Amino acid sequence: MAEATKQDDTAEVTTARLCAVGDLAPGEARRYDVAGLRVALVRIGDDFHAVGDRCSHEDYSLADGEVFAAECQIECAKHGSMFDLLTGDPRSFPATKPVPVYTVVVDGDDVSVVVP
Ligand code: FES
């Protein structure tokens, strides 16, 4: 469920909770459908990254792909394009367009994304 949160005096952001910290093991990726977003949440070590879960090549779930922790990338399981989890940019063909990147908020045990 999306929730409006005031982070300072000027900006109010809306976040949507995805899961608890312990729900994802390091190196794991999982798809979440929240607040109209289709999100691939990836855990690398204690860090979480969220990108659009729709491969920009042919609408395939990126959460089904392999996570490359050292490179901070995820591979599309369908044709092998690698996507940078920090920028959303494809790092190999056949995909040529980026996927969206969402800001992750970890608050206590809750992992959420900022709804754009
Ligand atoms: S569907 Fe992802 S690379 Fe083709």
Mutation to probe ligand 1, out of 54, 56, 64, 78 (largest number of atoms < 8 A from CB): 78
- pTM of the full predicted structure? 0.93
Asked if residue 68 is part of any domain, the answer here is yes
| Enclosing domain of residue 47 | 2-9+19-115
What is the per-residue pLDDT for 60? 98
Tell me how many domains the chain contains. Answer: 1
Cα angle value 105/85/108 (rounded, 5°): 20
Q: How confident is the model at residue 103 (pLDDT cuts 50, 70, 90)?
A: very high
Asked if residue 52 is part of any domain, the answer here is yes
What is the per-residue pLDDT for 1? 59
Asked if residue 14 is part of any domain, the answer here is no
Residue 100 backbone dihedrals phi, psi, to 5 degrees: -65, 150
User: How many CB atoms are closer than 10 A to CB 29?
Assistant: 22
Question: How many angstroms separate the CA atoms of 49 and 81, rounded?
Answer: 18
Ligand 1, atom 3, residue with closest C-alpha: 79
**Strand runs (DSSP E) across 8-99, as ranges?**
12-20, 29-34, 37-44, 47-52, 67-68, 73-75, 82-84
User: How many CB atoms are closer than 10 A to CB 55?
Assistant: 25
Asked if residue 37 is part of any domain, the answer here is yes
Ligand 1, atom 1, residue with closest C-alpha: 58
Q: What percentage of residues in the chain have a pLDDT greater than 70? A: 91
Asked if residue 92 is part of any domain, the answer here is yes
- Domain CATH number, residue 94: 2.102.10.10
Q: Flag whether pLDDT at 9 surpasses 70.
A: no
- Span 15-64, pLDDT tens digits: 999 999 999 999 999 999 999 999 999 999 999 999 999 999 999 999 99
